[in-house]
Structures are given as structure tokens and as C-alpha cells.
């Protein structure tokens, strides 16, 4: 009989029947993901590993261990980053345009530097990269280039594949496995420039707790996670928006009220050219403008710039009113 592969132990822990199986500890998760990053696990093992976790959902301890392993594998820029907000975007939009991109740009143009990172896809969704292209904002080819761009214009977007190709490969396994895996959660949490403020958007409500508790384990100073429209960091102005957060080791929870009484219809055109048009005041978009302001308000609250929901919304509305129409050209 051949000797058992070292990675098989982690598959066994996860899959040893109803009574024998258990979740990984944080250190086990860290060790397992480190092996994956080093190329020490076989493809069939990785598939089994990810799907066993997917069946019962990842725990905060597993997420924390996975994220720590991923961070160890990411080459950090040698220069000091001025970025204030980490903005992951890994879902894409189907019902409404990615208005959250304008929220991030609004914050950046108002003096809060933002690093946005994420993926694109060919699944009929509209991703941030497409929106940024329509806005005339270039994609950074590395974290170092992103830092230089943030120093210049206070905003940068870098694709996951440019700073962590292993995570990108693991996410792409969805096409083979038919399901998203825990790696989507890991990529959202990785915070490659170690910013003090991290925003998260999820679709399934249970993941708010996972992100919140994982942020505590990772000692993230400030983190806010909301049930975002389409799973992105975007407040849906049509419905109440639960937001869970962490501030210096203390958990908080708030429910932000709906901004409209009646719900808006699904956007049938999904024309990204409307994003720069709204920024420049060339069109009226009731839903889009509310989504931009509402999302920016959640970010301002996470930044500690407002002591109440009402104050955050008022501040975000004022920033939107005073947004520089020509800033997009400068960026």
C-alpha cells in the first residue's frame, strides 16, 4: 500500500462521515492552504477539499487560516501605501448596474484613497472592470502599480490574477465543479495592502456573521459587511440594509432603512455608459444616485466619519452634490 499523501489528512478531517467529520481549526486551515499555495496538493484533493467545505459552509476560523496563508503568498509592495479603504468586488451585477463603483470613486475624489480588487467573468453579469473601462479608468497590472496610481489619483483597481494567481485559479475551478467555493470568501477578505478599513458585500445573510467573526480573528481594525445588491458592496436603496461591523475588536450591528417606499424594476439595459453620464450630471437616475449615496454613507460610517446613520447619509449626499465633474478625466 502506498504511503498516504500529506494533504489527505485535511480531506479526511472534513469528510469522515456524519459523526466523524469536523471543521478545520484555524491552524489546520492555514497549513492546508499553505500546501495548496506551494503546489503540494493534487488537483483531485483540492476539488474534494473545497467542495466538502462548500457543503456545510466555511467557518470564521477556516476563513482566517486560509486568508493568513494567502497573505503570506502575496508579494507586498515595498512602498508605503496611502490607501484607506479595501474594496473587494467578486460577484458581478445582474439586476442593476454596478453603481457601487461610483461610490468608491466618490470617496476617493473626496480624500479617502481606495484600492478595489476583484475578478471578471463571462456569465452575463456586469463586473467592476467593465464599469471602470466605461469610466476611462485603467486597470493596474500589479499591487505596486496600484499603489503608485493611488498616490496619483487616490483610486486603483487591480485584478486578483495580477497579485494572487493561485486564488484566481481556485476561483476558476467553479467552471469544473459547478459551484462557488470558499475561495470567494477568502479573496474578499485577503486585503492585500493591509488597510485599516475593509468593506464587504454578501448575498446570503449568513455570510455576514462569517465575515464579521473572521475579521475579529484577523484583528482587522475596521470592517463593515452588508447584504449588498447582487452580493456586491452596494446598498440596495429599495429595502432595509443590515450592516454588521467590527471596530477595534468590538462587534456592532445596525439596520439602515430603505430609501424608497416602492421598489424599482430590474434594469433591462445594463448599459455601463450611464455610469459616467450620471457622474457628470448628464442623466437622472433615481435608483442609481440613491445607491451611490447610500453605499458611500455605509463606508463613511465604517471610516468613523459619522456618528449616526442620518449623519452618514447627509455627509454622503453633500459629497455627491460637490463631486468634481472633471475628476474622472483626471483619474
Residue found under cell 473626496: 110
Domain co-membership, 154 together with 21: no
pLDDT at position 123: 85
Distance CA 152, CA 29 (A): 38
DSSP string, 47-65: HHHHHHHHHH---HHHHHH
201 and 284 in one domain? Answer: yes
Q: 147 and 192: one domain?
A: yes
* pLDDT of 331: 57
pLDDT of residue 273: 96
Q: Does one domain contain both 101 and 229?
A: yes
Are residues 178 and 274 part of one domain?
yes
The pLDDT of residue 303 is: 97
60 and 94 co-located in one domain = no
Please give the angle made by the CA atoms of 127, 130 and 132, to the nearest 5 degrees.
110
The DSSP secondary structure of 243-279, one letter per residue, reads: EEEEETTEEEEEEEPPS-SSPPPP-SS--TTHHHHHH
Q: What pLDDT is stored for residue 105 in this prediction?
A: 98
Q: Looking at the structure, do residues 163 and 277 belong to the same domain, yes or no?
A: yes
pLDDT of 129: 96
User: Which cell numbers in the block locate residue 164?
Assistant: 494572487
Give CA–CA dist 148/272, Å, rounded: 27
Together in a domain, 69 and 105? no
Q: Of the candidates 73, 99, 125, which is a domain's last residue? A: 73
Residues 121 and 236 placed together within one structural domain of the fold: yes
CB of 283 closer than 8 Å to CB of 274: yes
Structural domain including 323 reads 85-330
33 and 98 in a single domain? The answer is no
pLDDT in tens, the chain (331 residues): 578 999 999 999 999 988 899 999 999 999 999 999 999 999 999 999 999 999 999 999 999 999 999 999 998 887 667 899 999 999 999 999 999 999 999 999 999 999 999 999 878 899 999 999 999 999 999 999 999 999 999 999 999 999 999 999 999 999 999 998 999 999 999 999 999 999 999 999 999 999 999 999 999 999 999 999 999 999 999 999 999 999 999 999 999 999 999 999 999 999 999 999 999 999 999 999 999 999 999 999 999 999 999 999 999 999 999 999 877 765 5
CATH number for the domain spanning 151: value is 3.40.1030.10
- Is 182 found in the same domain as 162? yes
Please identify which residue in the block is written with the cell numbers 487591480: 158
Model-wide pTM > 0.85 = yes
Q: What pLDDT, on a 0 to 100 scale, did the predictor assign at position 17? A: 83
Amino acid at each position: 500500500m502506498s504511503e498516504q499523501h500529506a494533504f489527505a489528512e485535511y480531506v479526511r478531517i472534513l469528510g469522515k462521515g456524519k459523526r466523524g467529520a469536523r471543521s478545520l481549526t484555524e491552524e489546520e486551515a492555514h497549513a492546508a492552504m499553505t500546501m495548496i499555495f506551494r503546489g503540494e496538493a493534487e488537483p483531485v484533493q483540492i476539488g474534494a477539499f473545497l467542495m466538502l467545505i462548500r457543503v456545510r459552509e466555511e467557518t470564521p476560523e477556516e476563513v482566517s487560516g486560509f486568508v493568513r496563508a494567502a497573505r503570506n503568498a502575496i508579494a507586498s509592495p515595498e512602498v508605503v501605501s496611502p490607501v484607506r479603504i479595501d474594496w473587494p468586488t467578486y460577484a458581478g451585477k445582474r439586476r442593476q448596474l454596478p453603481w457601487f463603483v461610483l461610490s468608491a470613486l466618490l470617496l476617493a475624489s473626496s480624500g479617502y484613497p481606495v484600492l478595489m480588487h476583484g475578478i471578471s467573468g463571462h456569465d452575463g453579469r456586469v463586473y467592476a472592470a467593465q464599469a471602470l473601462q466605461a469610466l476611462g479608468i485603467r486597470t493596474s497590472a500589479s499591487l505596486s502599480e496600484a499603489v503608485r496610481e493611488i498616490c496619483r489619483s487616490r483610486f486603483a483597481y487591480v485584478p486578483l490574477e495580477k497579485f494572487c494567481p493561485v486564488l484566481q485559479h481556485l476561483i476558476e475551478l467553479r467552471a469544473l465543479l459547478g459551484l462557488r467555493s470558499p475561495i470567494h470568501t477568502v479573496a474578499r477578505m485577503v486585503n492585500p495592502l493591509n488597510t485599516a478599513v475593509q468593506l464587504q458585500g454578501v448575498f446570503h445573510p449568513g455570510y455576514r456573521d462569517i465575515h464579521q467573526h473572521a475579521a475579529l480573528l484577523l484583528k482587522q481594525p475596521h470592517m463593515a459587511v452588508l447584504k449588498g445588491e447582487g452580493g456586491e458592496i452596494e446598498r440596495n436603496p429599495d429595502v432595509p440594509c443590515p450592516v454588521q461591523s467590527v471596530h477595534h475588536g468590538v462587534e456592532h450591528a445596525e439596520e439602515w432603512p430603505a430609501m424608497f417606499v416602492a421598489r424599482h424594476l430590474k434594469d433591462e439595459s445594463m448599459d455601463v455608459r450611464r455610469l459616467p453620464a450620471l457622474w457628470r450630471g448628464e442623466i437622472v437616475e433615481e435608483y442609481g444616485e440613491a445607491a451611490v449615496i447610500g453605499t458611500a454613507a455605509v463606508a463613511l460610517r465604517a471610516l468613523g466619519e459619522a456618528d449616526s446613520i442620518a449623519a452618514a447619509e447627509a455627509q454622503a449626499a453633500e459629497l455627491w452634490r460637490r463631486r468634481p465633474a472633471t475628476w474622472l478625466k483626471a483619474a
